[in-house]
Amino acid sequence: MRTQVAIIGAGPAGLLLGQLLHKHGIDAVILEQRSADYVLGRIRAGVIETGTADLLEQVGCAERMRREGLVHEGIEISFGGERHAINFQRLIGRSVIVYGQTEITRDLMEARAACGATTLYEAEDVTLHDIGSAKPYVTFRKDGVEQRLDCDFIAGCDGSHGISRRSIPAGIMQLYERAYPFGWLGILVDKPPLSEELIYANHERGFALCSMRSPTRSRLYIQCTLEDRVEDWSDARFYAELRQRLDERAIAKLEEGHSIEKSIAPLRSFVAEPMRYGNLFLAGDAAHIVPPTGAKGLNLAASDVHYLSQALIRHYHEKSASGLEGYSAQALSRVWKAVRFSWWMTTQLHRFPDASAFEQKIQRTELEYLVGSDHAQRALAENYVGLPY
């Protein structure tokens, strides 16, 4: 089997890259080790930047997002028992859309099936070969049969635990990492949101976030320790803790319901650079991880895919290698800005267990400055809705 671009991973990054390449007549085969149902079962965030929404428009996968997604003109920051609105539309004239990552994946899957492009699910033992050469290839096993996929380029869109980054020889990449001393305990519940906008709460007991997936489904989070276990948190205990961290208006609107899903996610910042080795190009979580505080994970994957698709289009249509040669530096420039913003949001909103009284005062003063300054709010707004590509 032969293709121009072998894409490893059928999450949003791999699927979006496949559709962008298909639109420009570039053949790509996607290999995914899991089943399609497993991929669709992943519960992920869904705050969509302007640039990500535009890319979905380009590949014809935005119609349902535009119809069912929730447009958000800002966020609310809660601390000291009061809530403060930060209106993006007023500040910079832009907004974000809340639309679940699962739904984006579904829309991209359906578009790919409709155009007849090849996605091979349950491809086992995927191995990358000769990635430093001009003739890379991939081997895998499908339905018990060993197969080989020859290609010009490999796009590693298979996440932080995938084979792509691990296939790069030792000593090539430099890794940058910050592990945070806490996690997020989150539940999904069929109850209406507490507010029209997301509520980010800073409290002495820890951070809380009140988000949503639809007008009738909420996603709620509280900061927890790394030692906490999901089974130790009943729904009743979760709601009791959440109530202590919210302002009175939010508490009055909180409706408790049975959790559909409950999980704990540790928080970390991670960047691997460069994002290229030979003819292997990394995109999304394969190259970087950000804490969810800034809503950047999916959106960073989309910006990587934008840069990589443009580079591949230039290679095939203009016979120019400049885009591929500059891909890593271009992508990393935007990645690091998003990493900085996610780090800033995380440090300002969470309670660090070893924070001194001085550091707690600085955190509170930073929040007070933010809600009192249009300049500070404008900086937050332009980062939250997404820096330009």
Residues carrying an active site annotation: 72, 200, 292, 296, 384
Question: Strands 82-87, 118-121: parallel, antiparallel or unpaired by DSSP?
Answer: unpaired
Of 371, 373, 384, whose CA–CA distance to 84 is shortest?
A: 371
Cβ-contact 92, 1 below 8 angstroms: no
Cβ-contact 200, 33 below 8 angstroms: no
Structure token digits, residue 92: 């910079």
Helix residue spans in the chain (DSSP H): 12-23, 36-40, 50-58, 63-68, 88-92, 101-114, 163-166, 235-245, 248-253, 297-318, 322-349, 357-372, 374-384
Please measure the distance between the N-terminal and C-terminal CA atoms of the chain and give it in whole angstroms.
Answer: 34
Q: Which helix (H) or strand (E) holds 201?
A: strand 198-201
Q: Which helix (H) or strand (E) holds 214?
A: strand 208-214
* Residue 169 DSSP label: P
Distance between CA atoms of 256 and 253, rounded to whole angstroms? 10
* Residue 260 DSSP label: E
